[in-house]
Chains A and B, each alone.
Chain A
Amino acid sequence: MKKTVVKRFLSAVLTTVMAFTMTACGSSDTGEEGSKTKGSKGDVTISVSSRYSADIPDDEFYRQKVEEFNAMDNGITVEMDNIVTESDYLDKLRTAFANGDTPNVFIEYGGSRALDYIEADAIVDMKPYYDEDKEWYDSFYDSMFESLIYPEYEGSIWGTPFKSYVVSLFYNKEIFEQQGLEAPTTWDELMDVCEKLSAAGIQPFQAGEKDTFRFGHFHNNIIIKSLGVEGVDKLAERTIAYDSPEMVETYQKIADMNKKGYLGVDTLNMDYTTEKETYYAEGCAMRWDGSWFVSEVYGKDVYDKTGAVAFPAINEEYAAEAQGGASDMWYVSKLNKSEEEIAASIEFVKYITSTEYFAGNNEVAAVVYPVKFEATENTPENPLLDEVTALLDGYTVIRTDVQNYDPESHMLDTVRNALQGIAMGNSAEQCAKEITGRIEVTGE
């Protein structure tokens, strides 16, 4: 009898312990990473998600400034959550929004990508804060707010620009000189240059298409240079279809280059980082990239050999139009957030987008900025950035990713995915069919 009682008691204890441990496994982690808590002395802790974890001057400066913000006696503590890979970062962010445990402040890219958050009333309208602090608002170039304003939400501005960019064609001047080539200004000249480089055993480009945004950006520029920014609007309105002859021609350009090997070898097995390393090692003669590349190549051996020109014109009418604008934007989440947290988040965003921040950043990581500021005397010479800035001044209109203007938020991933198929050997028609098939399936 005694044995049975002991046995029963032990069984009950073990079952209870197991139940408690399973419950602990299932609970969400709001300890280290989460925000939402008030520390001692009335401090507010907020979580800030970004992609700035790389060992490059730009990202290092950001992290350093966040630490300086934390050291201030302002009652706010920022917990950073930085993930460098775009797809992993977005996966985590979307998971957070699905379960309601979002960061207080996060980076996203504007346009249709943020529309879902706005429609769900998950992010803060920044307009009242801009009205309150005119000096802060006026420090930004007007065009930087383009992807933060939506006609269906007139009178609102949904985020704060943090980075801006323009896509240019970077090339190795030494290789070009050795081959007796000029930097291309038109598409035909680009094809000619590629042919001559290939004949000389030099890889024209080496795309890292494992990261789908590479062909995505290339395609954006082909669209803008062929159809202009009005073409971008027509695509969003579907007055130009993604399987129209003019669009098939844009896919065909990439398919032709891929077939001839101009875009590189094993592009599907190479990521963006390795693509840049290939250029640094002079394994290819050219690459297209955003102006952030200037800060990344700065200090490398190949920096002095690098020049920048505009992405080659296809239709002369649109030669002065380009891909660019505000890229990274800060958004403030109000999903399950207290007023104190929102206020702290706004204060952080103001700090990290101040002219002082950008002037300091300019000393270590020269890029194209979304604000107007005076460069300090500590700002080093950066001839390549001067070239890119001069190009920017020459553009009449710039637009960010084409699908950012699309009402369907899936389109960016849909088009990039389909373009990756071209790297696999799919035809332009297959690419078009894949995109329109997806549009059909989502019920447009």
Chain B
Amino acid sequence: MTNKKYKDRLIIVLFLLPALALFISLIVYPVFNTIVLSFQSWKGIYGAPKTFVGIENYIRVFQSENFWNALLNSFYFMLGGFGVLLPLSFGLALLITSKLKGRKFMKTSYFMPVMLSTTAVALMWVYILNPSFGLLNELLRAVGLDVLAKDWLSTPTLNVWSVIMVNTWMYAGYNMLIFTAGLVTIPQELYEAGELDGCTGWKKIRYIAIPLSRESFKVFSVLCVTGCLKAFDLIWAMTKGGPNNSSEMPATLLYNEAFTFKNFGKSSSIGVILLFLGITLSLILNKTFDQKED
């Protein structure tokens, strides 16, 4: 190897080293540690022995009704993400990239919930959704819709969907920006050319905006799927996975297994399963979008 090539390679390595060190110490090492712990039994006290138990933790996870319920709740989150959040965010993005007056005001107001802390949002909505004195039920009763005034956070399944709607309210603005980034890159000439061919109104969105926003949809999909799998903060702040595990998510289950039931090995196995699911689903999504592009 010539001196220059060696020097170049050395510079490359030196520049990569800090990022690599961070990557290894903050991602690779914890993941490796979690995988190792998933095959052990540990009560979570520093210095306490860790006993090798093989795949026993995984068997217990797959046999656990709570785990499958948590995955189902995660699936509901994905349904809410693709069924409600995606069209809403895309719609908002279309709105703020249009020629409507007040676009800047709209952009700021739609993004504002994202800037609030999750705990503050959760606390606010816990009170709004209180069945006795919450604003939502009071409004429903005021307009004679008493039958719709539910116990939003204590009724199984309904409580998950209530959190999904709060999540949608909170993150619509954030995802709006993802779609906006894609929409603004579409050349105006394409819309003009489309108009000449009779592509007007909704057809512009269907035949121009959506296909050319493929990358944004891809980014949204991957973020949505992985986000739904690891959803924790909002559900924890609003319901703590209860009552009685009814709104448990895989991440809250992981947390409870570790810190409530002191099964750090089983908790780690849930983490590994989530990691595997997240990577698999991300790869499938990437492949799906790439195939469509072809």
Which residues does A use to contact B, with CB under 8 Å?
Answer: 8, 11-12, 15-16, 18-19, 22, 26, 87, 90-91, 94-95, 97-100, 102, 116-117, 119-122, 209-210, 265-266, 268-269, 335-336, 409-410, 413-414, 417-418, 420-421, 423-424, 426, 434, 437, 441-443
List residues of chain A with CB within 8 A of the CB of B21: 19
B45 and A424: CB pair below 8 A?
A: no
Q: In the complex, are the beta carbons of A268 and B151 less than 8 A apart?
A: yes
Task: Give chain B's interface residues, CB within 8 Å of chain A.
Answer: 11, 14-15, 18-19, 21-22, 25-26, 43-48, 56, 60, 63-65, 130-132, 151, 153-154, 156, 240, 242-246, 258-264
Q: A209-B243, A437-B65 are in contact. List 18 more A-B contacts (CB 8 A).
A: A94-B258, A94-B259, A97-B45, A98-B45, A98-B258, A98-B259, A98-B264, A116-B43, A116-B48, A266-B132, A268-B153, A268-B242, A269-B131, A269-B132, A335-B46, A410-B263, A421-B243, A424-B243
Given contacts A26-B26, A87-B240, A426-B244, contact A410 B156 (CB under 8 A): no
Contact B44 A97 (CB under 8 A): yes
Q: What residue in chain B is nearest A94 (Cβ atoms)?
A: B259
- Contact among B46, B154, B263 for A268, CB-based, below 8 A: B154
**What are 15 inter-chain pairs, A to B, with CB distance below 8 A?**
A11-B15, A15-B15, A15-B18, A26-B25, A95-B259, A97-B45, A116-B43, A116-B45, A117-B45, A120-B48, A268-B243, A409-B43, A418-B244, A424-B156, A424-B246
CB distance from A347 to the nearest CB of B (A): 25
- The answer to whether B130 and A410 have CB atoms under 8 Å apart is no
Interface residues of B: mostly helix, strand, loop or mixed? loop
- B44 and A94 contacting across the interface, CB-CB below 8 Å: yes
A122→B276 CA distance, assembly (Å): 35
User: Do A12 and B15 have beta carbons less than 8 Å apart?
Assistant: yes
Q: How far apart sit A268 and B130, CA to CA, in the bound complex (Å)?
A: 10
Taking CB atoms, residues of chain B closer than 8 Å to A121 are: 47
Q: Which residues of A contact B19 (CB under 8 A)?
A: 15, 19
The minimal Cβ–Cβ distance linking A132 to chain B, given in whole angstroms, is 27
CA distance A329 to B142 in the complex (A): 50
Known: A19-B18, A269-B132, A269-B151. A420 touches B63 (CB 8 A): no
Q: Which residues of A contact B45 (CB under 8 A)?
A: 97-98, 116-117, 120, 122, 335
A18, A417, A418, A434 pick with most chain B CB within 10 angstroms: A417
Complex: chain A residue closest to B65, CB-CB: A437
Q: Check A410 against B131 for contact (C-beta < 8 Å).
A: no
**With A116-B45, A424-B154, A424-B243 known to touch, is A265 a contact of B259 (CB < 8 Å)?**
no
Q: Is the pair A417, B245 in contact by a Cβ cutoff of 8 Å?
A: yes
State the Cβ distance, B209 to closest chain A Cβ, in Å.
37
> Which of these, A19, A102, A414, contacts B22 with CB under 8 Å?
A19
A215 CA to B11 CA, complexed, in Å: 65
Pick the contact of B48: A16, A119, A418 (CB < 8 A): A119
**Whole-angstrom CA separation of A414 from B261 in the bound complex:** 8
Is B15 within 8 A of A100, CB to CB?
A: no
Q: Indicate if the CB atoms of B15 and A441 lie closer than 8 Å.
A: no
Q: How many Å lie between the Cα of A209 and that of B259 in the bound state?
A: 21
Q: List A contacts of B243 (CB < 8 A).
A: 209-210, 268, 420-421, 423-424
Pick the residue among A120, A335, A414, A441 that contacts B64 (CB under 8 A): A441
Give chain A residues whose Cβ lies under 8 Å from the Cβ of B262.
94, 116, 409-410
Residues in A neighbouring B151, C-beta threshold 8 A: 266, 268-269
